[in-house]
Chains A and B, each alone.
Chain A
Amino acid sequence: MDWLASNWRTVLDLAVSHLYLAGVPLVVGLVLSVPLGWTAKRWSRTYFAIITSAGLLYTIPSLALFVVMPLIVGTKILDPLNVVIAMSVYTVALLARTVADGLTAVPDHVEQAATAMGYKGLRRLFGVELPLAVPVVAAGLRVAAVSNVSIVSVASIVGISQLGDLLVDGYNRVIWGELVTGILATVLLALVLDALIVAGAKVLTPWTRAAGGRA
């Protein structure tokens, strides 16, 4: 507690970087997953290929991906972009499948009704199918958010600053207060992101609260 009282500004700064490094990839990953998931649903032959390669990407350990990333994209080893790209890769790996499954779960008669009302192509995707897939996609996004926040702390090992710095520094200098603050702040950040996603999904799916009302 003493440690936190005299260092809260640092903790706050690191939390902001942490939020950036974990949050931006969530958005990027979601945006990339929509076309991928849609392709996987539309052409069932691509489903297997997309899901398998996503699974393999998720298999690569984070520390390895952080270190190899500069080799692949040509950045410097200390560039935070490495972490943002690596985390986006993980997010896409998790979400491509979720989006595909969420879109596939939209009932046929709904799609037919939408088509009959004149919804076509992209308008049907964004106006009908994606909104109905929100609960499934949000569940996947929650898993991605919690795992992103936890994985980002590893980036301290490659020299990218965020809450993980408190863990490494607390360990190296044997400052328990710093180490414990680092753990608690990371968990808290994960919970906040999780709550935001739950709230967002609720706003986007007003019909789930109207259950029991007029059908």
Chain B
Amino acid sequence: MIASLLSWFTDAETWAGESGIGNRLLEHLWYTLATMVVAMVLAVPAGLWVGHTGHARWLVTVANSLRAVPTLGLLLAASLWLRTLPGDLAYVVPSIAVLALLAIPPVLAGTYGGIEAVDPAARDAAYGVGMRGRQVLWQVEVPNALPLILSGVRSAVLQVVATATIAAIVGLGGLGRFIIDGLALSDYAQAGGGALLVAVLALALEGLLALVQRRLVSPGLSGRPVGGSRKDDEDAPREEPGESTVDLRTPA
């Protein structure tokens, strides 16, 4: 089994052309990106709005209840329903639509939860220094909510990568093709090779997004030390030691 896997990976045929690993990987990434753009355009503004205003919390409940519906069922039902679309659209449209539908709940929950969990004192202070609603949202709430928003995006990306694999069953390209085609042909080297590639892709994306999250989240939240070289960054001017005249600590 290991030997046949190795020979699959080392076969030039495996890597070349439209059905080669390179192209399948690009397809997979492309579906993931397209889906995430659609999902985030819908879910982030909705989450910000629900979190900021406290209106329409039911939106979050509805999105969350979607999670109990089996992914495979949703995918097959959408494809069956839209199977009369012309050409490639017949599987691309339902697949991307279902993938986006699955990516929305984590992004929405992360955004809404992140905004809602912002320390009320920070919010009050922002209003207290004269900020308006929109300024409070963008300068206080969003930076504070960023860790949760990004974890929502991370789980959504992983969910999309996994489900895009399954979408090969309705004819979508991507790395799932190796698994589905391999199983159909009883070519377990191909199926196993595809499965390994999908697992590696998911782990790599998770690592990459964890790095992005570290870079984006304000050091004031993550406790990450700020080097001297980053002093004149876009970061808000930091308090210099000794500048503060009021000691907020109560004497022990």
Q: Which residues of A contact B (CB under 8 A)?
A: 55-56, 59-68, 70-71, 77, 146-147, 149-151, 153-154, 156-159, 164, 167-168, 170-171, 174, 176, 179-180, 182-183, 186-187, 190-191
- The answer to whether B202 and A60 touch across the interface, beta carbons within 8 angstroms, is yes
- The answer to whether B71 and A154 touch across the interface, beta carbons within 8 angstroms, is yes
- The answer to whether A68 and B76 touch across the interface, beta carbons within 8 angstroms, is no
- The answer to whether B166 and A167 touch across the interface, beta carbons within 8 angstroms, is no
Q: Tell whether B196 is near chain A: CB-to-CB under 8 Å.
A: yes
Which interface residue of A156, A159, A164, A167 has the most chain B CB atoms within 10 A? A167
Distance in angstroms between the alpha carbons of A190 and B192 in the assembled complex: 30
Smallest CB–CB gap between B110 and chain A, Å?
Answer: 15
Instruction: State the majority secondary structure of interface residues on A.
Output: helix
Smallest CB–CB gap between A13 and chain B, Å?
Answer: 18
- The answer to whether B73 and A71 touch across the interface, beta carbons within 8 angstroms, is no
- The answer to whether B179 and A179 touch across the interface, beta carbons within 8 angstroms, is no
- The answer to whether B203 and A59 touch across the interface, beta carbons within 8 angstroms, is yes
Q: Which residue from chain B places its CB closest to the CB of A67 in the assembled complex?
A: B195
- The answer to whether A150 and B69 touch across the interface, beta carbons within 8 angstroms, is yes
Chain A residues, CB < 8 A from B161? 61
Distance in angstroms between the alpha carbons of A65 and B152 in the assembled complex: 23
Quick one: which of A63, A176, A187, A190 contacts B195, CB cutoff 8 A?
A: A63
- Tell whether A64 pairs with B70 under 8 Å between CB atoms, given A59-B203, A171-B76: no
- The answer to whether A191 and B203 touch across the interface, beta carbons within 8 angstroms, is no
- The answer to whether B162 and A183 touch across the interface, beta carbons within 8 angstroms, is no
6 of the cross-chain contacts (CB-CB < 8 Å) are A63-B162, A65-B195, A68-B192, A182-B73, A186-B69, A187-B69
Q: Which residue from chain A places its CB closest to the CB of B196 in the assembled complex?
A: A68
Distance in angstroms between the alpha carbons of A19 and B188 in the assembled complex: 28
Q: Tell whether B165 is near chain A: CB-to-CB under 8 Å.
A: yes
- The answer to whether A71 and B192 touch across the interface, beta carbons within 8 angstroms, is yes
Distance in angstroms between the alpha carbons of A191 and B202 in the assembled complex: 29
Distance in angstroms between the alpha carbons of A169 and B180 in the assembled complex: 16
Quick one: which of B2, B67, B72, B77 contacts A154, CB cutoff 8 A?
A: B72
Q: Which residue from chain B places its CB closest to the CB of A171 in the assembled complex?
A: B76
